[in-house]
Amino acid sequence: MSERDPDAYLVDQTGPPDPEVARLEGLLGRYALGADARPAASPGPDEAQASYLVSPRILRGTLAVAASFVAAMLLLRALRPAPPVWSVHGLPGVERIARGEWLDVPREAGLGVSIEAGDLGEVRLEPGARVRLDDEGRERHSLYLERGAARATIVARPREFEIGTPAGLSVDLGCRYDVVVDPSDGASTVRVLTGMVAFEAEGRTAFVPAGYETRALPGAGPFVPVHSAESPELVAWVRAVEREPALTSEQLQTVAEVSDDVVLYHLLRAVSRELREAALTRLVEVEGAASGPPPEGVLDDDEAWLAWHETVLGTAFRRR
């Protein structure tokens, strides 16, 4: 019979949680690099274990880390000379891609095909991917991904680089992310590894922070982003309610169980007015704010509301 190590949780985070260690983790976690900079209550260990959905404050935490990352990347970029052209690597016989040209990555190609996007970073292309360079000059640089998968690692100022797809435009806000286009229907998935992407189409914008993903269909715009490891139950609920004008009381009540402020934020643009109001109430709760803007502001999309959201969620610097 093996002897249980009493320090297993403290040292390796294994075994039953030590209540005192867990309490201190809960208290001190607010100071973590990826956590909210402002003081806020962390769930106790019991509460956290019983929690069903995503932790609150993830968006602000992500933004804090992303902002530092992007700032460091920009400094790094300033220290290096900029490559003069968009060059292609890993594809024999193809050394560069010019504006308006298409690049087809053969299915038998290796995994090392990439485009060096000027001095902005790199875009890796999967076998089978097809892209066109739509570089529009110094202010805006873009690729159009018609099909296949691409991973962008971009060291650019927010909104300086974007990847278009049949279903929308993923605008880089300083990050690393994947874009995948299904060749059968043009459905596009954006999954963010670091930083944040704004996925825009049909008048809708999904802000996708690190760890989250969203999907869009041509003509339909992006769906509410969800964490890549989110429970299927929550994803199914979000998809069922976000564009539904008439919701059941049961569907509305579920809002009270959502703790993911990324989801709640995007539900403020849901079709159902009742859902928008419920999401606002819940967002104020999980943010720990004393009060939010009047619901009318949310519904009218007015400036006061936008100012409040930028203050609370800290996305002001990311807006165009």
Partner 1 sequence: MEVLAESASLSPAKPANVARRRSRAARGAGVRPTPLRSEPAGAVSPDSREVALVERARGGDRGAFGELYERFAPMVHAVLLGRIAAREARDLVQDVFVAALARLPQLEEPGRFGAWLAAIARNRANDALRATRPESSLDAEPGAGSAASAGAAASIPTEKAEDADEAARVLAALRELPEAYRETLAMRLVEGLSGRVIAARTGLTYGSVRVNLCRGMKLLRERLTDGKVG
**Residues 121-140 interacting with partner 1 (rule: CB under 8 A):** 121-122, 124, 126
Contact between 12 and partner 1 per CB under 8 A:
yes
Binder of partner 1 out of 178, 200, 242, 277 (CB under 8 A):
178
Binder of partner 1 out of 105, 201, 210, 313 (CB under 8 A):
210
Query: In the complex with partner 1, which residue's Cβ is closer, 18 or 244?
Result: 18
Number of other CB atoms surrounding residue 30 within 10 Å: 16
Distances in Å between the Cα of 56 and the Cα atoms of 62, 286, 313 are 11, 6, 11
Query: In the complex with partner 1, which residue's Cβ is closer, 103 or 275?
Result: 103
Amino acid at 177: Y
Contact between 33 and partner 1 per CB under 8 A:
yes
Contact between 211 and partner 1 per CB under 8 A:
yes
Alpha-carbon Rg for the chain, nearest whole angstrom, is 22
Distance of CA 300 to the CA centre of its chain: 25
Binder of partner 1 out of 60, 63, 65, 305 (CB under 8 A):
65
Residues 138-167 that bind partner 1 (CB under 8 A): 149-151, 153, 155
- Write down the least CB distance from residue 100 to partner 1, Å: 25
Q: What single-letter DSSP state applies at residue 262?
A: H
- Write down the least CB distance from residue 10 to partner 1, Å: 6
Query: In the complex with partner 1, which residue's Cβ is closer, 68 or 253?
Result: 68
- Write down the least CB distance from residue 39 to partner 1, Å: 3
Question: What residue spans of the chain are helical by DSSP H?
Answer: 8-12, 19-28, 45-50, 58-79, 232-241, 249-253, 261-267, 273-287, 295-300, 303-313
Contact between 14 and partner 1 per CB under 8 A:
yes
Distance CA 23, CA 13 (A): 13
Binder of partner 1 out of 1, 98, 246, 290 (CB under 8 A):
290
- The partner residues of 99 in beta bridges, in order of sequence, read none
184: its two tokens: 């059968």
Contact segment (CB under 8 A) with partner 1 among 12-20, 87-95, 196-204, 217-225 equals 12-20
Residues 221-240 that bind partner 1 (CB under 8 A): 227-229
> What per-residue string of b and e applies to 246-271 under the rule 16 or more CB within 10 Å gives b?
ebeeebbebbeebbbbbbbbbbbbbe
Query: In the complex with partner 1, which residue's Cβ is closer, 180 or 201?
Result: 180
Residues 73-112 that bind partner 1 (CB under 8 A): 73, 75-77, 79-80, 111
Amino acid at 303: E
Query: In the complex with partner 1, which residue's Cβ is closer, 34 or 294?
Result: 34
Distances in Å between the Cα of 39 and the Cα atoms of 36, 213, 285, 300 are 7, 28, 15, 31
Contact between 170 and partner 1 per CB under 8 A:
no
Residues 237-276 that bind partner 1 (CB under 8 A): none
Q: What's the length of the chain?
A: 320
Query: In the complex with partner 1, which residue's Cβ is closer, 12 or 139?
Result: 12
